[in-house]
Amino acid sequence: MSTKPNIVIIQADQLAPQFLAAYGHPLVKSPAIDKLAQEGVVFDAAYTNAPLCAPSRFVMMSGRLPSAIAAWDNAADFSSEIPTFSHYLAAQGYRTCLSGKMHFVGPDQLHGFGERLTTDVYPADYTWHPEWDRPEARLDWFHNMEVVTKAGACTRSMYMDYDDEAVFKAKRFLFDHAREDNDQPFMLTVSMIQPHDPYLCSQAHWDLYRHDDIDLPTVPFQSDAEHPHNARLRHGYGASDFNFDDDTLRNARHAYYGSIMEIDNKVAELRSAIEQAGFADNTIIIFTSDHGDMLGEKGMWFKMSYLEYSARVPLIVHAPAMFSPKRVAKAVSLVDFLPTFAELANDGKEATYATPLEGRSLVPHLSGDGGHDEAIGEYYGEGTDVPMYMIRRGNYKLIYSSKDPLRYFNVIDDPQEVNNLADSPEHQSQITAWLSEIEARFDQAALTERVLESQRRRAFLKTVMRDQGVVWDYQPLEKSSEIYIRNTQPIYELEKKSRFPKV
């Protein structure tokens, strides 16, 4: 067995930590995730750097902030030239494999993964780009409120099917690796789509909860003054057209809670497979998400905001043989994954990188009380037509864009973010210093022009590509001749080879 630790990343989609028992929710059931948390290191202030699926994942994989890699939105091309944690782990001798979603846009659908077991759940083309030239327009491909008004239980859904496939193929990978007596360390990323909207779950998981017990948003719509960015998002996905009653809100949250249990079952399946394959003692399991979900808080849904329910992510690192269970209060973010994995794969020594990184290793947080206390965010997606930034340090978080009122919260004392301290005299020196940092670090005018040029290029190209039939979506090739009985080898040889444990 390799002395280097195996790494298994389990990623949910649009899962806010506030809706997990491990983070204090009194109702939601998630026993497998709870067990990971009890035995692992739980980060209580982990953030996405870009609260949108594709840019969040590009940042997570590259260790770079969005503007450094042009990770503007859900249709931004992720350049093959950008090294990812998969590349660095492969350079350290790892077998790298992806099963499930990673929302890669562009012709490169691997980005350092030596193997990919499934197609993606989302398209790889340029269609889903914002239009800063038309900031008030409702985009025909965008979120809509049908996912809320028609939330509930179902027998099957596309997302259930997808997650079943991703986890089944990931488990097969684990057992195949074990059957091969392969000493090569592996990094397996298993990325699911639930509990992302549409808000649906199986009847069995719906029935885990009494409907009347489902909690309503802690900050109902119009209970505090609406920020312009909130209003633009609500308009963009149609929430401003509705006045949701309590039962509709409960339906969506009820289904979301049920789908969390479906994710939890998948976590249990994967952990069981890791144990049965004999990898448990030398495998680090990371559980996280790409961003959260407002789920009706302040009348908002989905992500695209630096408010806590949208921007925070669960982050649990399970490796009891390496790191004692504890909770980490310091702010960290997904951009920190690459240097963390590279250091873990390099016998705990800092790795050498081909480019500068904005991410910083989490190993000091895991192994002691050291490490940074900072999360930096950049957002270039829907709901704005200028760059938006976040700084989280210590107890405080600042959210800034040049066109909107400043927001500054003490998120420890005010986790629901109802008390904006932006005009508080006692905080002005720190606010001024943080705004100066943003001005010095980001050329906002130049970035705005870069984003607009990219959007206009893609608006042109997507139509031409569609007419030409150009498709970048990944099509996995399954070699059935090597899996099941064929006349290329004696039947008993294949049967013997596929048995595990060996006899």
Per the residue annotation, which of 25, 87, 97, 103 is the catalytic one? 103
Beta bridge partners of 7: 187, 284
Q: What are phi and psi of 182, to 5 degrees?
A: -90, 120
332-333 and 388-393 as β-strands: parallel, antiparallel, unpaired? unpaired
Structure tokens belonging to residue 105: 């846009």
* Rounded distance between C-alpha atoms, residue 115 and residue 188, angstroms: 9
| 196 classed as catalytic | no
* Rounded distance between C-alpha atoms, residue 330 and residue 45, angstroms: 6
Q: Is residue 492 packed enough to be buried (19+ CB in 10 Å), middle (13-18) or exposed (0-12)?
A: exposed
Q: Scan for tokens 């719906």, then name that residue.
A: 206
Q: Scan for tokens 């782990």, then name that residue.
A: 89
What angle do the packed helices 246-276 and 158-179 form, to 10 degrees? 10
* Rounded distance between C-alpha atoms, residue 233 and residue 51, angstroms: 13
Q: Scan for tokens 């039939």, then name that residue.
A: 469
Q: Is residue 240 packed enough to be buried (19+ CB in 10 Å), middle (13-18) or exposed (0-12)?
A: middle
Structure tokens belonging to residue 458: 């893609």
Q: Are 267 and 202 in contact (CB under 8 A)?
A: no
Q: Are 292 and 253 in contact (CB under 8 A)?
A: no
Q: Count the neighbouring beta carbons within 10 Å of the beta carbon of residue 409.
A: 24
Rounding to the nearest 10 degrees, give the CA dihedral for residues 464, 122, 7, 357. Answer: 50
**Residue among 61, 215, 239 nearest 143 (CA):** 239
**Residue among 280, 308, 261, 330 nearest 41 (CA):** 330
**Residue among 321, 274, 265, 279 nearest 40 (CA):** 321
| 201 classed as catalytic | no
Structure tokens belonging to residue 356: 């500068």
Cα angle: 233, vertex 237, 239; to 5 degrees: 85
Q: Is residue 469 packed enough to be buried (19+ CB in 10 Å), middle (13-18) or exposed (0-12)?
A: exposed
Q: Amino acid identity, residue 367?
A: S
Rounding to the nearest 10 degrees, give the CA dihedral for residues 243, 313, 205, 247. Answer: -10
* Rounded distance between C-alpha atoms, residue 377 and residue 52, angstroms: 11
Q: Are 136 and 130 in contact (CB under 8 A)?
A: no
Active-site amino acid positions = 53, 103
